[in-house]
């Protein structure tokens, strides 16, 4: 099996790495403390083609393969996980859903401005009482002539504050449907932004739909396709979030290893102490294990293989691994790791959300177990 990146993929990786080092890393703590993403940073990311990463050239996208796409998210996350999550939500959840399920007219209307960063996409599935269990979705869609009227409340809408287009899921006459809802649609209101422990410069908002009207032509896919569209999007997002966890972990190991060469205790750098060496070596091993899971999952996408179970597998491992690695590396820095003036506190906070966002670890673990037991002819329930 060939694990080598192609020459083009290495070129892209170096470009992404250079962008993260020059444009994001020097301002990462400032961005985190300000709890907002500077427009000039977003503009530079757009100019690099990041917001159209996997979209085809005829949509003015960068036409990256999926391995190159996870390399993008990994390297962005080494410096700023908030930007990486915003890009991932825009691309994996919304743009790719339109590309896969949209009509020619929908693709023509939305994908070019999304690739150009003129329209940011937001994913509106979760509700106050419905998240992983979409059977209890309360947002309703009812038809009125050629229009659909949407009523409900959506929470934790990633990119909500900056979005120009919302992919909204609602219960319709034939099951769950998905609708493309522009920001200026009558009856749509972007509300409260959630203050968060980590990913402080990403935007998570409550969105209200009160008699919100859109044309029936804005339905994505066929009637009742909402469940399929949502699961497909979440599988893509699982791989994206795992790549972000990889970036957080590898950059944390780098920060801690550098610190261990400079911090002197008992007359020698602490990197000379076996306890510190064990922390660093074990964290590196965990990080490299995740790397191959992430790249393999992305390779499956590129091969057109079924990647649903692998997406849950890599998401589960990434959430656990990123949390443990950032915790170990914070311990290496000791008191300095606990200070907001050092990057480890931010990385630790950002890593913690990977067990929640994109579906909790428990849900993804169930999906892996479900596939294992299905091979034994036994069905299990959550």
Rounded CA-CA distance 247/71 in Å is 9
CATH numeric code, 121-223: 2.40.110.10
SS3 127: strand
If we measure between CA atoms, which residue out of 187, 183, 129 comes closest to residue 161? 183
Out of 3.40.640.10, 1.10.540.10, 3.30.300.30, 1.20.1250.20, the CATH code matching 7-115 is 1.10.540.10
Half-sphere exposure of 296 (CA within 13 A, CB side): 16
Rounded CA-CA distance 50/171 in Å is 33
If we measure between CA atoms, which residue out of 154, 161, 164 comes closest to residue 128? 154
* Two structure tokens written together for 380: 């299990």
Rounded CA-CA distance 333/322 in Å is 17
Q: How many residues does the chain have?
A: 382
Based on the number of CB atoms within 10 Å of its own CB, is 27 exposed (0-12), middle (13-18) or buried (19 or more)? middle
Residue boundaries of the structural domains of the chain? 7-115, 121-223, 228-374
**CA distance readout (Å), 319 to 197, 216, 286, 334:** 16, 38, 12, 23
pLDDT of 132 reads 83
Rounded CA-CA distance 268/326 in Å is 24
| Number of neighbouring beta carbons within 10 Å of residue 58 | 11
Q: Do domains 7-115 and 121-223 have the same CATH topology?
A: no
pLDDT of 135 reads 87
| Number of neighbouring beta carbons within 10 Å of residue 223 | 14
**Which H or E run includes 180?**
strand 175-182
Q: pLDDT tens-digit profile of 354-381?
A: 999 999 999 999 999 999 999 999 999 9
pLDDT of 1 reads 62
Rounded CA-CA distance 358/123 in Å is 11
Q: Which residues of the chain have pLDDT under 50?
A: none
339, 318 contact by CB (below 8 A): no
What values do phi and psi take at 181, rounded to 5?
-120, 110
Rounded CA-CA distance 103/234 in Å is 21
- State whether the Cα torsion 129-367-355-45 is positive or negative: negative
Q: Classify domain 228-374 at the CATH class level.
A: mainly alpha
Q: Classify residue 194 by its DSSP letter.
A: P
């Amino acid at each position: 099996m060939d694990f080598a990146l192609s020459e083009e993929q290495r070129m892209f990786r170096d470009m992404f790495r250079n962008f993260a080092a020059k444009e994001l890393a020097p301002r990462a703590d400032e961005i985190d403390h300000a709890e907002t993403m500077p427009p000039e940073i977003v503009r530079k990311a757009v100019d690099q083609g990041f917001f159209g990463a996997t979209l085809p050239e005829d949509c003015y996208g960068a036409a990256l393969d999926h391995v190159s796409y996870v390399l993008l998210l990994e390297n962005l996350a080494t410096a700023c996980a908030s930007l990486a999550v915003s890009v991932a939500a825009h691309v994996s959840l919304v743009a790719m859903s339109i590309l896969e399920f949209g009509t020619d007219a929908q693709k023509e209307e939305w994908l070019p401005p999304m690739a150009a960063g003129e329209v940011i996409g937001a994913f509106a599935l979760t509700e106050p009482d419905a998240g992983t269990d979409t059977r209890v979705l309360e947002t309703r869609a009812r038809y009125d002539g050629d229009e659909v009227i949407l009523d409900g409340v959506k929470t934790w809408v990633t990119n909500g504050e900056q979005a120009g287009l919302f992919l909204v899921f609602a219960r319709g006459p034939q099951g769950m449907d998905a609708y493309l809802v522009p920001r200026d649609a009558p009856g749509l209101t972007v509300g409260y932004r959630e203050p968060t422990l980590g990913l402080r410069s990403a935007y998570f908002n409550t969105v209200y739909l009160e008699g919100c009207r859109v044309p029936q032509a804005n339905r994505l896919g066929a009637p009742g396709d909402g469940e399929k569209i949502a699961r497909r999007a979440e599988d893509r997002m699982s791989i994206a979030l795992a790549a972000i966890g990889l970036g957080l972990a590898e950059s944390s190991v780098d920060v801690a290893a550098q610190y261990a060469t400079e911090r002197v205790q008992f007359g020698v750098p602490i990197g000379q102490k076996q306890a510190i060496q064990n922390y660093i070596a074990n964290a590196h091993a965990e990080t490299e294990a995740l790397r191959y899971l992430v790249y393999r999952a992305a390779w499956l996408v590129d091969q057109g293989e079924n990647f649903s179970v692998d997406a849950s597998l890599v998401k589960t491992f990434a959430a656990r691994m990123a949390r443990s690695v950032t915790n170990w590396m914070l311990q290496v820095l000791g008191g300095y790791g606990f200070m907001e003036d050092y990057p480890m506190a931010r990385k630790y906070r950002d890593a913690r959300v990977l067990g929640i966002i994109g579906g909790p670890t428990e849900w993804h673990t169930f999906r892996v177990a479900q596939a294992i037991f299905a091979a034994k002819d036994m069905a299990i329930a959550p």
